[in-house]
Amino acid sequence: MAIFLTILLPYLKDNFQKMTNTFQHIDFDFANAKTNTGTHSFHPYPAKFIPQIPNFFIHQFSKMGDTIYDPFLGSGTTCVEANLLGRHAIGNDVNELAVLMSKVKTTPISEEALQKVEQLINSIYTALENKHLLKEKATTYPEIPRLQDWFKSFVIDEIIIIKKNIQNLIDDDFRDFCLLALASIIVSVSKQDSNTRYVRVEKNIKSKDTIDKFARQLRKMKNIMLETANSLQNGNTNVKVGDSRELGHFNNNQADLAITSPPYPNAYDYHLYHKYRLFWLDMNPYELKKREIGCHAHYSKKNGLTEFDFMKDMKKCFVNISNILKPEKHLVLVIGNSILKGRKIENNELLKKVAQQTSFELVTEYTRTIRLTKKSFNPKIGKIKQEKILLFQNKK
């Protein structure tokens, strides 16, 4: 047996090196690829992970029926691609909205349930016509900080009507489907400038616009789901609200491959830009702020966190990812640079140093150029032009 391994291991290593060299000729820019098709288009999400990357590596390093792990779910891209390719998916995120998004994007909704979309929309319009039957605002308005500073009164009334009708739905999966449709329009009907700019601006929003936008989005999602539901049934997904620095989200040796785009230090405040979506869905942006790795609010303070704090956090994540991954299986990370107190931080180099302190061994690294319309952050904290794709092997 020992002689056999002595002969086999150099052969495997040589062939694996040939394969990784071949990857160097792959155009990871995917410059002309459509990145917002199918259920990927259900909800806006800044700095979205493009589906072509997980799709490529799932093909290369897994087989039908395998389990793919994403420790930072984000918009659920890896899970969707895993299911479409006949793999199972598991994942976690500290952002409750990200978990809802991932669940809805990967959960097939039956044609029978989707037939209730028009019934729901009609009941919402009927309730709007009878808006005078709403209780006094003092009791019907949710306890959301500065709600009337960020939403016009009639918009608040319309969101309440939509949410109340959704909550009356019996089917849990269909209810989540409709809640995600509501969440997707919240910023557009608020006074928040955009998904990446948390300042108040006046918008030309009229009465009934909110319900009209919701109806259009829900119908769009219904049509996509009708086209995609059968393909999503190729695999199952299990997603949880959970911090990748903490143990116990999934079983050891459960996953055959891990693919993710991890947080960037000082790059983005998901708790802030999704704040009113989270509030309206009865989620907690304050708790997310405490637990969000890379949160700009924690790095921008005078005595704020540094890249070394980021490395400590990511080391804990790497250890847990290694536990969940089977031995010799692969981890794919996609990450760009950050600006921290005027200094450019090469996050790929930080993660390579972190990996050296764990069981992960770097196999190879690729560079991809990002379209100017993608991955746009606040220019003061970095506009990302390139990303690195890091391929590690779990040598536990």
Mean pLDDT value of segment 127-145: 71
DSSP strand pairing (192-194 vs 197-200): antiparallel
pLDDT of residue 382 exceeding 80, the answer is no
pLDDT of residue 366 exceeding 80, the answer is yes
Q: How far apart are CA 50 and CA 29, in angstroms?
A: 10
Q: How far apart are CA 133 and CA 371, in angstroms?
A: 50
337 and 384 Cβ atoms separated by less than 8 Å: yes
pLDDT of residue 5 exceeding 50, the answer is no
| Mean model confidence pLDDT for the chain | 90
Single out the residue of 293, 291, 290, 295 nearest to residue 273, CA to CA.
295
Residue position matching structure tokens 């990200």 = 98
**Looking at residue 373, what is its pLDDT?**
55
**Looking at residue 24, what is its pLDDT?**
62
Give residue 68's identity as a one-letter amino acid code: I
pLDDT band of 8, cuts 50, 70, 90: very low
Q: How many C-beta atoms surround the C-beta of residue 45 within 10 A?
A: 21
pLDDT of residue 102 exceeding 70, the answer is yes
Mean pLDDT value of segment 310-317: 98
Give residue 192's identity as a one-letter amino acid code: Q
**Looking at residue 238, what is its pLDDT?**
98
Q: Rg of the chain's alpha carbons, rounded to an integer? A: 22
**Looking at residue 393, what is its pLDDT?**
98
pLDDT band of 137, cuts 50, 70, 90: very low
Collapse the DSSP code of 372 into the 3-class scheme (helix H, G, I; strand E, B; otherwise coil) and give the result: coil
1-10, 149-158, 186-195, 283-292: range with lowest mean pLDDT: 1-10
First and final C-alpha spacing in the chain: 21
At 323, list the tokens: 């536990």
Alpha helix positions (H), the chain? 2-23, 52-61, 77-84, 96-106, 111-114, 117-129, 137-140, 147-150, 153-167, 172-189, 209-232, 270-273, 275-280, 285-291, 296-299, 307-324, 347-356
Collapse the DSSP code of 159 into the 3-class scheme (helix H, G, I; strand E, B; otherwise coil) and give the result: helix
Q: What is the DSSP string of 247-284?
A: S-SS-TT-EEEEEE----TTTB-HHHHTHHHHHHTT--
**Looking at residue 284, what is its pLDDT?**
96
pLDDT digits (tens, 9 = 90+) for 110-123: 999 999 999 999 99
pLDDT of residue 11 exceeding 70, the answer is no
**Looking at residue 301, what is its pLDDT?**
87
153-167 and 172-189 helices cross at what angle (nearest 10)? 170
% residues pLDDT > 70 (the chain)? 88
**Looking at residue 131, what is its pLDDT?**
73
pLDDT of residue 149 exceeding 80, the answer is yes
Query: 137 or 262: whose pLDDT is higher?
Result: 262
pLDDT band of 319, cuts 50, 70, 90: very high
Residues 350, 355, 359, CA angle at the centre, nearest 5°? 175
pLDDT of residue 9 exceeding 50, the answer is no
Mean pLDDT value of segment 332-358: 95
pLDDT of residue 187 exceeding 80, the answer is yes
For the chain, what's the residue count? 396
Could you say which DSSP state residue 359 is in? Answer: T
pLDDT of residue 269 exceeding 70, the answer is yes
Mean pLDDT value of segment 223-230: 97
Q: How far apart are CA 15 and CA 166, in angstroms?
A: 54
pLDDT band of 19, cuts 50, 70, 90: low
96-106 and 77-84 helices cross at what angle (nearest 10)? 20
pLDDT band of 390, cuts 50, 70, 90: very high
Query: 390 or 131: whose pLDDT is higher?
Result: 390
